[in-house]
A and B are shown apart, each in its own frame.
Chain A
Amino acid sequence: MSLWRYLGRRVLLLAPMLVGITLLTFLLSHAVPADPVTAYLGPQASGDPQVIAAFRHRWGLDRPLPEQYGIYLWNLARGDMGVSISTRQPVMVDLKQHLPATIELATAAMLTSLLVSIPLGMLSAVRRDTMLDQLARIGSLIGVSTPIFWLGIVAIVVFYAYLGWAPSPGRLSMEIPPPPPVTGFVVVDAVLARRLDVAADALRHLALPALVLSSYSVGVVTRMMRGSMLEVLGEEYVRTARAKGLATWAVVVRHAARNSLIPVVTVIGLSFGGLLSGAVVTETVFAWPGLGSYAFHSATALDFPAIMGVGLVVAAIYILVNLVVDIAYAFVDPRIRVG
């Protein structure tokens, strides 16, 4: 099957999967033993039947559940995700304001993770049992086992409060008016607005939370890369390559590394999911106004349209990442055919 047909089939599967996600999110969020009236109307108003009726009517909560779900799907099909009860903005607008912050953060964390963990895993395997290997193993163990909120707070205390190397938490310094939103990515928008000082400020703010967020995936990917590399280095074709007199770097990079990457790619895909969930905590600690903090507010406030919106977006990201991982297999190992 060609790549295009495979992609087409996966995209077609996307729609029923997303509908399934909406149903699941809808059922779960309505199973919570609390009423949005409790979350949204004050203690006085929640005792007034007229106010309760007006509230339920305004947000469509006075209709039977199947009807509410049907209306949601119908609107969704027309590109309308509803209005958030807790921000009073269309969910689409909320997502546009929150998602880029998280993508910016997760991408920076992923890049950091790849830049650090793949070379480190390779070095660790090649220099097995040396001091470097031991340090890398201890480092990755710490990365995997340290709670991210704790690491975040420690990082802020050390790098921001104590050493003063990091700027204040948030996406930009508060005195700097944000660039006009075009893409929602502050760095990109600042460049588009030709404000390189603002872009630099945004990058400075991005660095520490991205490092903290990447800690878990750095740990996992380094360990995976090391293990996989060790296995490959013991293979006969590596010995053959060495025997033919190839330089060490050529053996390691061209023969061993490429073959070691297959299981690592899977782990990278999985750890991207970890980045998204880790973002909820990192965003709170770093006052980072992303999807994680939006999801948290929506869930604790029983903001049904927002919860559904977040569920859909996160599901779509997961599906997309999995797809990218599947395609990446084919590039890493030409023997693997997608489909």
Chain B
Amino acid sequence: MNGDQGGGVPRFNRRSLIGLLGGGLGYPAVTHLLGPETARAAAPSGTLLVGMELLMKSIDPGRTIEASAYMINHAIYDSLVTFDGEDLKTPKPQLATGWKASPDGKTYTFTLRPNVRFSSGNPMTSADVKWSLHRVINLKANTKFLIEGIEEVLAPDPLTVVVRLSESKPSIIPILSSPSLCVVDSKVVMENGGEAGPDAKDKDRAEPYLSAHSAGTGAYTLGSYIPNQELTLVKNPAHWRGAPKFDRIVIRHIPEPATQQLQIARGDLDVATGIGPDQAQVLRTAPGVTVKTSLIANTFYVLMNNNPQIGGPFANPRVQQAVRYALDYAGIMAIAGAGAQRLASIIPNSFPGSLDPRTAVTTDREKARALLREAGVGVVRGRITYPAGATSWGVQVDLLVQKIQTDLNAVGMTIDLNGLASLTALQEYRDGKNQIGVWGWTADWPDPSNFLVYLPGRTVGKRAGWPADAGPEAAALAKLGDQAEREVDTPKRVALYERVARRIAEIGPYAPLFQPAVPYAMRSNVRGATYNSVWEVDLYALGKSG
């Protein structure tokens, strides 16, 4: 707890009154008058205090894909599948004890863990799994892309769930670890306006209920939630893995990273997830504080529009290559901050199918200049659009963009900066109107399949003016991507993803930069902290010693 000055008896004398009238100097008087923090000393020892940027639009699992909400929902709900700690490669059983795929990869049969109960006391059965997944399918909300390809979910007996897919999609296993696809107490949610049928889109009314109550099998239940302010979690003593270590977790929205830094340094927070690289650097030397960094499954990259009408000279493959050689990656990695890793392509190093970072393009300005001459497009002039003032995964986007501008100007290009308000910049990017852009893509589930979005004709490909029919090379690559997505055999699958990654690095209208890492801090007596790229800190794993 914090080392507050012992207050003794509250005093009120002329000096403190004069101090009070003296504005800033009056502060000691105010605190003296109010006495010491007696209430604080009475705080229960089984409480964990977490500071974070608690910004989320919803905590209804079926309607949210935000990182903060994932962290909360990962503590309240369980899914069929999970991942341990920071590992993003090996799916582990959670509410399912195991699963089997049919030879054609279109049917998955899950065996459920017996004797699991929701916090309401209701038993968790296959009917709940089926209802939960159907709700997400039919809500047609922002979570819909997760269950793309699921044709039906069957519950042949209380402990068996069968998921039928329209085509082979082995990524369904890591996808089912998503907190959006957790299992909710269907009885309770239905009683409170939940609807999973075909018209759930219009009839589901469960969101207000799920913002104030939880209906899961998770280690904690939702105590209270005031959006953009504070959320409390309460121990679920009947949790199937054993009761969690804290009676209560208080999570407060603290938007300013510097404020989080000061609070954890003084012991007013046990865990702070909203600090940046600057704060982390200071906290590394603070007594009683431990700082860790965790890789985020994200690709930072430079987009060059392949559509000549928008990209201009940057649609030329030689100019795109020149950009890749012109960048000073050592300088860029310094901006990316401690723990970040260089990327050879667009699949983060945390996943199978990624390329060895040592094979990444290295800076060669001569080669860049030669490529520009070969391109023969005359003066290469361009404009980088980016969200001005934004910090993404601890990276100050303005700094990064200025560095890229300097590097490109150094080989003879003329680059202007077009910093816009975040939403406006994002809109332009999504509309495929960036000539040059600096963006990132974060995995929604732990699997390389997330990053097929960079393929020609897919989400990011389209934004980069790179349709699947852009040419024979693009068409072949798009096909290779489809093949990688469907391959069931793991070694073959990994090899296919590597081929996709290599080809995108060679011909894609991108310059892959790095995979970021985020710092987070905790008091040194906090045990078991791990940070998963999708659901951040695993609250169940946390404990406190001393």
Task: Decide whether A and B are members of one complex.
Answer: yes
Seen from chain A, the residues whose Cβ lies within 8 Å of a Cβ on chain B are: 32-35, 38-48, 50-51, 54-55, 57, 84-89, 94, 97, 112, 115-116, 119-120, 139, 143, 153, 155-157, 159-161, 164-170, 173-177, 197-198, 200-201, 203-204, 207-208, 211, 214-215, 218, 284-287, 289, 293-294, 297, 300-302
* Given A45-B142, A211-B24, A287-B253: A203 and B266 interface contact (C-beta under 8 Å): no
Nearest residue in A to B261 (C-beta to C-beta)? A161
Cβ contacts A to B, 23 pairs, < 8 Å: A33-B427, A35-B427, A38-B430, A42-B145, A45-B143, A54-B141, A87-B57, A87-B227, A88-B58, A153-B258, A157-B262, A161-B265, A164-B266, A165-B5, A167-B4, A175-B47, A200-B34, A201-B40, A207-B30, A215-B24, A289-B228, A297-B55, A300-B423
Interface members, chain B 1-47 (any A CB < 8 Å): 2-5, 20-24, 26-28, 30-31, 34-35, 37-40, 42-44, 47
Which of A45, A87, A168: most chain B Cβ within 10 A? A168
User: Which residue from B262, B430, B459 sits with its C-beta under 8 Å from A161?
Assistant: B262
User: Which residue from A94, A167, A208, A218 sits with its C-beta under 8 Å from B227?
Assistant: A94
Extra contacts, 6 of them, besides A87-B57, A176-B43 (Cβ < 8 A), are A35-B427, A115-B20, A153-B258, A160-B262, A204-B31, A287-B255
Seen from chain B, the residues whose Cβ lies within 8 Å of a Cβ on chain A are: 2-5, 20-24, 26-28, 30-31, 34-35, 37-40, 42-44, 47, 49, 55, 57-58, 60, 65, 139-145, 201-202, 207-208, 211, 226-230, 232, 250, 252-256, 258-259, 262-263, 265-266, 268-269, 421-424, 426-427, 430, 441, 444, 453, 459, 462
* Given A32-B424, A34-B424, A50-B144: A156 and B37 interface contact (C-beta under 8 Å): no
* Given A153-B258, A156-B259, A289-B230: A42 and B422 interface contact (C-beta under 8 Å): no
Provide the residues of chain A in CB contact with B26, threshold 8 Å.
211
B37 touches A201 (CB 8 A): yes
A200→B41 CA distance, assembly (Å): 14
B228 touches A87 (CB 8 A): yes
Nearest residue in A to B226 (C-beta to C-beta)? A97
A175→B232 CA distance, assembly (Å): 11
A169→B42 CA distance, assembly (Å): 19
A300→B20 CA distance, assembly (Å): 38
A93→B55 CA distance, assembly (Å): 17
Provide the residues of chain B in CB contact with A50, threshold 8 Å.
140, 144
Nearest residue in A to B4 (C-beta to C-beta)? A164
A41→B57 CA distance, assembly (Å): 10
Provide the residues of chain B in CB contact with A86, threshold 8 Å.
57, 227
A214→B140 CA distance, assembly (Å): 48
* Given A174-B268, A198-B39: A45 and B144 interface contact (C-beta under 8 Å): yes
A164→B37 CA distance, assembly (Å): 12
In the assembled complex, how far is the CB of residue B439 from the closest CB belonging to chain A, in whole angstroms?
Answer: 10
Provide the residues of chain B in CB contact with A200, threshold 8 Å.
34-35, 38-39
A46→B5 CA distance, assembly (Å): 53
Which 7 pairs of residues, A with B, have the shortest CB-CB distance? A175-B43, A87-B227, A44-B145, A34-B423, A45-B142, A168-B268, A289-B229
Which of A33, A84, A170, A301: most chain B Cβ within 10 A? A170
B39 touches A42 (CB 8 A): no
Provide the residues of chain B in CB contact with A57, threshold 8 Å.
202
In the assembled complex, how far is the CB of residue A160 from the closest CB belonging to chain B, in whole angstroms?
Answer: 6
User: Which residue from A45, A207, A302 sits with its C-beta under 8 Å from B27?
Assistant: A207
A156→B262 CA distance, assembly (Å): 8
Provide the residues of chain A in CB contact with B230, threshold 8 Å.
289
A173→B44 CA distance, assembly (Å): 13
User: Which residue from A88, A159, A204, A286 sits with its C-beta under 8 Å from B207?
Assistant: A88
Nearest residue in B to A170 (C-beta to C-beta)? B252
Which of B23, B49, B427: most chain A Cβ within 10 A? B23
A204→B10 CA distance, assembly (Å): 13
A166 touches B262 (CB 8 A): no
Nearest residue in B to A289 (C-beta to C-beta)? B229
Provide the residues of chain A in CB contact with B49, threshold 8 Å.
174-175
A300→B390 CA distance, assembly (Å): 12
A208→B143 CA distance, assembly (Å): 43
Which of A43, A159, A214, A218: most chain B Cβ within 10 A? A43
B227 touches A89 (CB 8 A): yes
Nearest residue in B to A89 (C-beta to C-beta)? B227
Provide the residues of chain A in CB contact with B252, threshold 8 Å.
170, 174, 287
A286→B39 CA distance, assembly (Å): 20
Nearest residue in B to A181 (C-beta to C-beta)? B226
User: Which residue from B39, B227, B255, B459 sits with its C-beta under 8 Å from A44?
Assistant: B459
In the assembled complex, how far is the CB of residue B52 from the closest CB belonging to chain A, in whole angstroms?
Answer: 11
B256 touches A285 (CB 8 A): yes
* Given A50-B140, A88-B208, A289-B229: A166 and B268 interface contact (C-beta under 8 Å): no
B34 touches A204 (CB 8 A): yes
Which of A38, A50, A89, A166: most chain B Cβ within 10 A? A38
Provide the residues of chain A in CB contact with B208, threshold 8 Å.
88-89
A54→B200 CA distance, assembly (Å): 11
A164→B462 CA distance, assembly (Å): 54
A38 touches B228 (CB 8 A): no
Which of A38, A174, A285: most chain B Cβ within 10 A? A174
B265 touches A116 (CB 8 A): no
Provide the residues of chain B in CB contact with A42, threshold 8 Å.
65, 142, 145, 444
Nearest residue in A to B58 (C-beta to C-beta)? A88
Which of A51, A287, A294, A297: most chain B Cβ within 10 A? A287
Provide the residues of chain A in CB contact with B5, threshold 8 Å.
164-165
Nearest residue in A to B28 (C-beta to C-beta)? A165
A287 touches B259 (CB 8 A): yes
B211 touches A89 (CB 8 A): yes
Provide the residues of chain A in CB contact with B4, threshold 8 Å.
164, 167
* Given A34-B424, A43-B459, A164-B3: A176 and B39 interface contact (C-beta under 8 Å): yes
A32→B57 CA distance, assembly (Å): 21
A174→B265 CA distance, assembly (Å): 15
